[in-house]
Amino acid sequence: MKRLLKIYLDKPELAGIVLLIILIAVFQVTSRGFLLSYDNLRGVLGLLPEMGMVAMGVTILMIAGEFDISVGSVFALAPMVMAITNNMGVPFVPAVLLGLLAAAGIGATNGMITLRFGIPSFITTLGMLFIARSITVVISGGFPPLLSADIPGWIFTQYIGLIRMSMFWFAGLAVILAITLSLMNLGNWIKATGGQIDAANAMGIPTSRVKMFCFVLCSMLAGFAGIVQVLRLGSPLPSLGEGLELQAVAAAVIGGTSLFGGIGTVVGAIVGALLIRVIDNGLVLSRVDANWFKFAIGSLLILAVIGNTWLRRQSRRIKLET
């Protein structure tokens, strides 16, 4: 019993799941049963992968002890690179890869600057937020390019019943990342690097390379998510993903990721992203003024951190014996 309680307390994402169920129940009532209807679920689940992927990358980077708030700009830059190179005659798949490469380049730059100069990644990526956005607008020339009609965007956007194709990409990535984090030595290294970098260094873990990997991974996931969204919308707006960075950090934190590194899970990131989507959708369906959305997210964020800190303190009091 004590054991189960501790397992529960140790996993803040479980608290998130409970909250999610409660909110779904509430909104189900206030929306007069429309929330869980087929059409609405289709819509909510169709949008989830885009923010979910960004949240997963941000979460993993936060576990490694670093921040990335440039993800919203990378979310716009990667599809812009893809669209422009595609319009210049580069075939679809290489164009997507070029978009991802641009994202990886941003991530690598973030990592290099942060590690080389020993400055907080919050600052590095705040700078990059402006830089990457600027590059996006400049290369777009001010006019969003149209995607050519023969692009096989269906591999991300096609609906199969309830599920959009992007959900499969998202789920696949989530499984790979979850396994990496909990069952690969790289995952152990990421947690150790964010948890106690001196200890990790002393044990021979290449902490700089671990962080570098997480920066690049985070950027690439954001870029990929942006590409998925643009294929859904049909055109890469230069203003895409503005404010997304803060939602992604909020999702990570609501899902139990620690701001100080070392703690967090992929499931938590997904639960956090889902919570944000459900609140967004639920408020609209309940005919609440849409401007309350940010109020709700803000309150949830603060409460989640207070709650998680409390849970962790309770858990620490319980010492397991066999």
Q: Is 183 in the site for other proteins (CB under 8 A)?
A: yes
| Alpha-carbon span 197 to 96, nearest angstrom | 35
Size of the site for other proteins (CB under 8 A): 28
Contact 115, 61 (CB under 8 A): no
Residue 64 backbone phi and psi in degrees, to 5: -75, 0
Q: Which range binds other proteins by CB under 8 A, 19-27, 42-50, 146-154, 181-189?
A: 181-189
In the complex, what is the shortest distance from the CB of residue 196 to other proteins, in angstroms, rounded to a whole number?
A: 4
Site string for other proteins, 203-242 (x = CB under 8 A): xxx-------------------------------------
CB burial of residue 150 (10 Å; 0-12, 13-18, 19+): exposed
Strands (E) in the chain, as ranges, are 159-160, 163-164
Q: Which range binds other proteins by CB under 8 A, 138-146, 183-191, 216-224, 238-246?
A: 183-191
Given 17, 71, 147, 192, the residue binding other proteins (CB under 8 A): 192
Given 28, 30, 188, 208, the residue binding other proteins (CB under 8 A): 188
Q: Which range binds other proteins by CB under 8 A, 36-44, 97-105, 148-156, 186-194?
A: 186-194
Q: Is 28 in the site for other proteins (CB under 8 A)?
A: no
Q: Which range binds other proteins by CB under 8 A, 134-142, 185-193, 242-250, 291-299?
A: 185-193
Q: Is 319 in the site for other proteins (CB under 8 A)?
A: yes
Q: Is 202 in the site for other proteins (CB under 8 A)?
A: yes
Q: Which range binds other proteins by CB under 8 A, 132-140, 168-176, 256-264, 269-277?
A: 256-264
Give whole-number Cα distances, 49 to 174, 184, 271, in Å. Answer: 10, 24, 12
| Alpha-carbon span 60 to 190, nearest angstrom | 8
| Alpha-carbon span 260 to 64, nearest angstrom | 9
For residue 32, give the DSSP letter: T
Geometric angle at alpha carbon 32, from 300 and 21, rounded to 5°: 40
**Measuring CA to CA, which residue among 266, 69, 85 is closest to residue 170?**
266
Residue with tokens 């949830």: 300
Nearer to other proteins, 37 or 196 (CB): 196
Q: Is 302 in the site for other proteins (CB under 8 A)?
A: no
Site string for other proteins, 135-174 (x = CB under 8 A): ----------------------------------------
Query: CB neighbours (10 Å) of residue 191?
Result: 21
Residue 146 backbone phi and psi in degrees, to 5: -85, 145
Tell me which residues touch other proteins (CB under 8 A): 10, 179, 182-185, 187-189, 191-192, 195-196, 198-200, 202-205, 258, 262-263, 316, 319-322
